[in-house]
């Protein structure tokens, strides 16, 4: 082959790649990650998952890019939280408003299962396609809880748990055999609020009357052909047919490119100066615990370590080129002490520069504690937040141990040395100490809410009592300032300090490879914010967690079954 011809063809292909129309693609089959990986294990586990911030920034940039003609999103079965879905919907609606085509494709919206939230995302697109063998599991919203009191009673396990107050229901799984009235009231309002949001979104996206959408929800799930007849999807087609149609409309020479890759390529072309003024982005994901962030290789997901988040906030507020901080919180809570540590760093940072909190799918209990001191709190309507309350106690295993033939004996000095033993219940004097502990935490929590949110203590208590709110209801009650997502929080931060709309966003802590290798010189060092792979699944409460039979994430925690997916 002629070498000159080969070089010419190579150059021509590169030129075409730089100038050809683009069809952006987003594959949600494996779900999304909220932020950059915090440790090597997290990096490995998130290799195939797009990052939410990259997707949002990429779609924002693409709205102004004449090369980008369309967006195709493959919606899979991996559950994505409602608030994250609302962030994606908002980005799609804004991309669609720029005049570019948007297409959603799914093999199925729930294969003989629920698919309400995935379909809610799809309804934001111009056109929705479903594989001919697929279904639309539009069935509504349900929060279901199982109660283990009677089963545990048969085993000889009792629970002695105190809570503040009647809506702090995380322990009800073990202490009740049905929903209490406050429990049912709280969950019913959550379901009602979320249903209102979903109905409004589908009605707007599919140009249907809200009453018609509620009627369709009551008729679901739908076989593919039924979904077409009902106006829920635009056609039944396979992937090759959908992608082929979109690419032909964009131009025969059009190229397909993932949104995340498009964002990274575009960002490299417009790299800001290393010392340019910008916004710091700190991610706080997972259950809150003392120490460093990380995850266990044995399972249990990630954790927000108070040392890691505190070091990141300190580094951001000491950086003269950081003009404001956006703190992204996606956490069900956990340790009261760790939450208070992070709260203090937010307070100190706010004295130097604005702090904007962006709430993810859930920022409740301890997740709200670390958020409440910010200048502005931004949440999605479907974010689960609040749960301003506390619980604490222990299981009593004496009867179970007796049934198993296990004898317990002990030697102790100190009247309350064995107070936290699961072999016996609390004495009246020990219950007094437990209640004093619960009252102290609750009073501190409510007092800080009242001060941060400019509420009377009575009003703060009324909104607290352990109750979980949707973001929409939390905003109505004054616990949240704005409804929106991460991009809204970043833009709000830029506006507050007079930065341009495209001012850079840098994830903190910012560490070069050498800093990562050498380790921190002190707790003030940026490297102190490094996360780690935790070899213990449950931290310092591993023994108690094992005896409880549940994740012991701390007294300020929201149960996992509250997440809406």
Q: Taking phi first (over 0 means left), then psi (-120 to 50 degrees means alpha), and beta for anything else, what does residue 68 get?
A: beta
Query: According to the model, what pLDDT value does residue 115 have?
Result: 92
Query: According to the model, what pLDDT value does residue 295 have?
Result: 61
3-state secondary structure of 551: coil
Which stretches of the chain drop beneath a pLDDT of 50? 297-299, 533-552
Rounded-to-10 torsion of CA 548, 552, 555, 557: -120
**SS3 letters for 106-150?**
ECCECCCCCCHHHHHHHCCCCEEEECCCCEECCCCCCCCCCCCHH
556 Cβ contact partners less than 8 Å away, ≥ 6 residues apart: 288, 333, 334, 335, 336, 339, 365, 366, 369, 387, 389, 390, 441, 445
By the 8 A CB rule, do 9 and 273 touch?
Answer: no
What Rg do the C-alpha atoms of the chain give, in angstroms?
26
3-state secondary structure of 527: helix
By the 8 A CB rule, do 382 and 480 touch?
Answer: no
Query: According to the model, what pLDDT value does residue 44 have?
Result: 52
Terminal CA-to-CA distance of the chain, rounded, Å? 57
Per-residue pLDDT tens over the stretch 290-338: 988 876 544 456 789 999 999 999 999 999 999 999 999 999 999 999 9
The continuous run of DSSP H or E covering 164 comes out as strand 158-164
Query: According to the model, what pLDDT value does residue 171 have?
Result: 85
Query: According to the model, what pLDDT value does residue 275 have?
Result: 79
Q: Give the max Cα distance, the chain.
A: 94
At which residue do the structure tokens 């991009």 appear? Answer: 487
Nearest Cα residue to 533 out of 296, 285, 301, 283:
296
87 Cβ contact partners less than 8 Å away, ≥ 6 residues apart: 52, 56, 380, 485, 486, 487
118 Cβ contact partners less than 8 Å away, ≥ 6 residues apart: 75, 76, 77, 80, 85, 106, 109, 110
**Residue 205 φ/ψ, nearest 5 degrees:** -70, -35
Orientation of helix 52-62 relative to helix 82-97, angle to 10°: 10
């Amino acid at each position: 082959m002629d070498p000159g011809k080969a070089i010419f063809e190579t150059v021509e292909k590169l030129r075409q790649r730089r100038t050809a129309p683009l069809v952006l693609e987003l594959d949600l089959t494996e779900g999304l990650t909220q932020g950059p990986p915090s440790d090597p294990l997290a990096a490995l586990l998130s290799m195939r998952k797009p990052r939410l911030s990259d997707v949002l920034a990429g779609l924002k940039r693409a709205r102004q890019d004449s090369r980008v003609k369309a967006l195709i999103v493959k919606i899979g079965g991996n559950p994505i939280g409602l608030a994250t879905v609302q962030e994606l919907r908002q980005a799609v609606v804004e991309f669609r408003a720029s005049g570019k085509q948007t297409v959603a494709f799914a093999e199925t919206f729930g294969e003989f299962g629920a698919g309400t939230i995935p379909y809610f995302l799809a309804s934001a697109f111009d056109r929705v396609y479903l594989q001919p063998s697929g279904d639309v599991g539009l069935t509504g919203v349900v929060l279901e809880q199982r109660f283990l009191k009677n089963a545990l009673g048969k085993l000889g396990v009792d629970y002695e748990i105190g809570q503040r107050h009647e809506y702090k229901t995380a322990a009800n799984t073990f202490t009740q055999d049905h929903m209490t009235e406050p429990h049912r009231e709280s969950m019913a309002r959550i379901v009602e609020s979320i249903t209102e949001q979903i109905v409004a979104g589908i009605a707007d996206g599919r140009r249907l009357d809200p009453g018609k959408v509620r009627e369709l929800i009551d008729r679901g799930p739908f076989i593919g052909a039924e979904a077409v007849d009902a106006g829920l999807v635009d056609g039944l087609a396979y992937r090759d047919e959908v992608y082929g149609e979109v690419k032909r409309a964009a131009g025969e020479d059009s190229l397909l490119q993932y949104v995340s890759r498009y964002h990274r390529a575009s960002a490299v072309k417009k790299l800001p100066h290393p010392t340019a003024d910008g916004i710091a982005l700190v991610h706080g994901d997972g259950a809150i615990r003392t120490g460093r962030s990380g995850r266990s290789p044995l399972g249990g997901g990630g954790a927000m370590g108070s040392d890691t988040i505190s070091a990141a906030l300190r580094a951001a507020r000491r950086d003269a080129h950081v003009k404001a901080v956006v703190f992204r919180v996606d956490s069900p809570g956990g340790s009261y002490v760790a939450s208070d540590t992070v709260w203090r760093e937010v307070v100190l940072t706010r004295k130097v520069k604005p702090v904007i909190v962006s709430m993810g799918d859930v920022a409740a209990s301890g997740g709200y504690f670390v958020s409440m001191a910010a200048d502005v709190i931004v949440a999605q309507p479907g974010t689960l937040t609040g749960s301003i309350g506390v619980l604490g106690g222990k299981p009593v295993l004496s009867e179970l141990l007796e049934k198993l033939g296990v004898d317990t004996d002990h030697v102790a000095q100190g009247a309350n040395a064995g107070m936290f033993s699961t072999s016996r219940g609390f004495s009246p004097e020990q219950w007094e100490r437990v209640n004093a502990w619960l009252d102290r935490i609750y009073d501190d929590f409510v007092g800080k809410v009242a001060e941060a949110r400019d509420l009377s203590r009575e009003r703060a208590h009324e909104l607290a009592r352990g109750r979980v709110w949707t973001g929409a209801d939390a905003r109505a009650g004054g616990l949240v300032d704005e409804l929106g997502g991460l991009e809204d929080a970043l833009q709000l931060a830029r506006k507050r300090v007079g930065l341009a709309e495209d001012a850079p966003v840098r994830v903190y802590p910012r560490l070069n490879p050498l800093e990562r290798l050498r380790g921190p010189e002190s707790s003030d060092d940026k490297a102190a914010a490094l996360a780690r792979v935790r070899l213990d699944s449950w931290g310092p409460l591993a023994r108690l967690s094992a005896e409880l039979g549940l994740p012991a994430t701390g007294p300020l925690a929201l149960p996992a079954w509250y997440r809406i997916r």
